[in-house]
Amino acid sequence: MKLTGKKALVTGAAGGIGAASALALAAEGADVALIDLHWNNRPGNPADAIRGLGRQALEIPCDVSDPIRAGDAFAEAVSALGNIDILVTSAVYSDREFFHKADLQEFRKTVEISLWGAFYFLRCTAQHLLERKAPGSVVLISSPHAHVPVPSCMAYNMSKAALDMMGKTAAIELVSQGIRVNMIYPGWTDTPGERKFFTELTLREAGAALPMGRLMRPDEIARGVVFLCDPASESVTGTILSIDGGTQLPWWSKRGSGQF
């Protein structure tokens, strides 16, 4: 129970990496405010599982790309839980098309949710912790897309690249106050969001071709979140933790040459 007494806020918490992170934090003793756009008719609601662990779980509907609503949602979480010690930003949106043909509304939506949504909650959390003169931990769920220019993903690529620099800058600005900011690079992870672009068959076949022979699981990423939020990791800040099953190693470029 590394996080007993801690209060966490997780965005994008209704499913995938966000839900797994919220549940993992609760399993270590944290009460959790879960932020997502919609909560109605969600199967496998993580809030129910968190309450089953004896922890508080607060479901807050919020469009993270709206700065006013983001601020109100943060204030609602503080009011209900008493304070916030941990922030995990996992809310994300992506649309795939070559940039010169992309729908600009979808392009902007990707940036506004994936980058600006994380910024609004990072800013609220920093202000809250500084006002309390309290230490805290922030984990931004980033992506290898930050440094790999995957075609048809320009908005997502540039959002994650900016997210990394945002996190590193926040880390150096806040380190003297005991507030840590880190990023995680998940590998290709089996989440509901992948079904927007790929069929189940495609995901199985693609997973089999990866170094570990499968996609990552959300709970594996969540274990990294717990490590970074653990007070015992107090010297870890401004870093990027890759949990990718080896997909950023040079194997990918060599695979076509018959070496793998």
Residue 70 lies in a domain: yes
pLDDT at 147 over 80: yes
Residue 1 lies in a domain: no
Of 93, 120, 156, 185, the active-site residue reads 156
Domain that holds residue 185: 7-255
pLDDT at 6 over 80: yes
Residue 215 lies in a domain: yes
pLDDT confidence of residue 245: 85
pTM of the model: 0.92
- Least confident piece of the model among 15-19, 118-122, 123-127: 15-19
Domain total in the chain = 1
Mean pLDDT of 110-124: 98
Whether 120 is catalytic: no
Residue 119 lies in a domain: yes
Residue 2 lies in a domain: no
Q: What is the DSSP string of the chain?
A: -TTTT-EEEEESTTSHHHHHHHHHHHHTT-EEEEEES--TT-TT-HHHHHHHTT--EEEEE--TT-HHHHHHHHHHHHHHHS---EEEE-------S-TTTS-HHHHHHHHIIIIIHHHHHHHHHHHHHHHHT--EEEEEE--GGGTS--TT-HHHHHHHHHHHHHHHHHHHHHGGGTEEEEEEEE-SB--GGGGGT--HHHHHHHHHTSTTSS-B-HHHHHHHHHHHHSGGGTT--S-EEEESTTTTSTHHHHHTTT--
| CATH number of the domain where residue 123 is located | 3.40.50.720
The pLDDT confidence band at residue 43, using thresholds 50, 70 and 90, is low
pLDDT confidence of residue 41: 61
pLDDT at 10 over 50: yes
Residue 16 lies in a domain: yes
